Amino acid sequence: MSRFSRVLGRLVASLLAILLVAGVAFANLSPEMGGKPTKAERAAYAKTGRYQDGEFRNLIPTSVSTGGSMAGMLWKFLFGKVPNSLPPAPLPTRPLDSLSITRKTPELLRATWFGHSASLVEIAGYNILLDPMLSVKMGPVSWVTPKRYNASLAITAEQLPAIEAVLISHDHYDHLDYQSIRRLKDKTRRFYVPLGVGAHLRAWGVAPDKIRELDWNDSVQLPGLTIVSTPARHFSGRGLTNRNSTSWTSWVLKSATKRVFYSGDGGYGPHFQAIGRQHGPFDLALLECGQYDAQWSQIHMTPEQSVQAGLDVRARVMLPVHWGAFSEAFHAWNDPIQRATAEAARLQLPITTPELGQPVTPGAGPLPQLPWWQRVGQ
């Protein structure tokens, strides 16, 4: 390597370090960072057996990165080029009629996906929101984070009717969104979150009596509906200094006649079979399917693993989520759904592929299954 190359490399590394420090300093001043669990809360978390040395742990050993350096990943993220990483046009969206959400019976099971993981599940007469990232911009430094494909969603937080519960899987920015929570806090009756995440909501003005933190296998009983926190294999943190200071979870919804599973984020593991044995079969499973990379093999699933997870939890229908809104990994924007539909067909797992905002009603006729992603931009 020439002397010029070495000097240039050091200069680039120094500039990246300066930008990183400036970004962290700015982010730390932003309310989007949220809050911190109290000393008493941390002491209580230690009694769970999953919280050691200030961090939550997974059921099995899990590494956030399975190869390569953080600097290399940052360089790849900032300067790497991925063919077809963004769709050539906005994705087809069906505006959601908020009045239709209020017209339902307790027997109805209906799910509406808004892109990425944000979804509305109507079950047992309740409106349940999953990871409602309903903003166009993400995080405190939006010029660094990925941009949403569409400039608007099928429905805004303000247009939604009263929400019985918001369920959060973990505190990453693409799942726990400051702006969305601020807009939803007054129309939501309860927020059910993993251990530690309540501190963020309190910092954002959510009344403490609306928040309940659940450990894995804890449950909440509503009239006609049971909500269960179940394991996931992931990590947490909204900054560089609070990794795994809060927990992460998947969710089970059970009424007298219907069952729904939401995976949240996470790598493949034996917990899916355990959840299927204990709580399945599920009429519908919303499963992470997107934002994967070989370096993240233990914290995100490939589409083929997502399909296998659907089989493991004994899903009657799989709805792939965690795609269709942001490009956060080094794959084509439509790679997740192409691979998932192919694998589901091979393994004979029924799969539904709605457009953004298109309701899915299992057991009430044909499910949305058109390959709409093939005609985007045509």
363 within 8 A of 115, measured Cβ to Cβ: no
Q: Where are the domains of the chain?
A: 98-374
pLDDT digits (tens, 9 = 90+) for 102-124: 878 888 999 999 999 999 999 99
Question: pLDDT tier at 243 (50, 70, 90 boundaries)?
Answer: very high
Confidence of residue 22 (pLDDT cuts 50, 70, 90): very low
Give the residue from 190, 251, 257, 255 showing the smallest Cα distance to 224. Answer: 255
Provide the β-strand partners of residue 233: none
CA–CA separation, 253 and 112 (whole Å): 15
For 16-86, list the strands marked E by DSSP.
51-52, 55-56
* Mean pLDDT computed over every residue of the chain: 91
Mean pLDDT for the stretch of residues 92-105: 88
Of 140-144, 196-200, 260-264, 352-356, the range with the lowest mean pLDDT is: 140-144
| Percent of the chain whose predicted confidence (pLDDT) is above 90 | 80
May I ask the CATH class of domain 98-374? Answer: alpha beta
- Report which secondary-structure segment, H or E, holds 184: helix 178-184
pLDDT in tens, 257-270: 999 999 999 999 99
Q: Which two structure tokens, joined as six digits, stand for 242? A: 């609070």
Structure confidence by residue, pLDDT tens digits, 173-196? 999 999 999 999 999 999 999 999
pLDDT number for residue 24: 54
Instruction: Name the helix (H) or strand (E) containing 321.
Output: strand 318-321
pLDDT tier, 79 (very low <50, low <70, confident <90, very high otherwise): low
Q: What is the pLDDT of residue 213?
A: 98
pTM listed for this prediction: 0.91
Does position 1 have pLDDT exceeding 60, yes or no? no
More confident call, 13 vs 158: 158
Strand partners of residue 121: 111, 128
Q: Concatenate the DSSP letters of all residues of 223-292 into one string.
A: TTEEEEEE-------SSSS-TTSS---EEEEEESS-EEEE--S----THHHHHHHHH--BSEEEEE-S--
Burial of 300 (0-12, 13-18, 19+ CB in 10 A): buried
Asked if residue 216 lies in contact with residue 234, where contact means CB atoms within 8 angstroms, the answer is no
Is 126 within 8 Å of 222 (Cβ atoms)?
yes
Pairing of β 109-113 and β 219-222: unpaired
* pLDDT for the residue numbered 13: 55
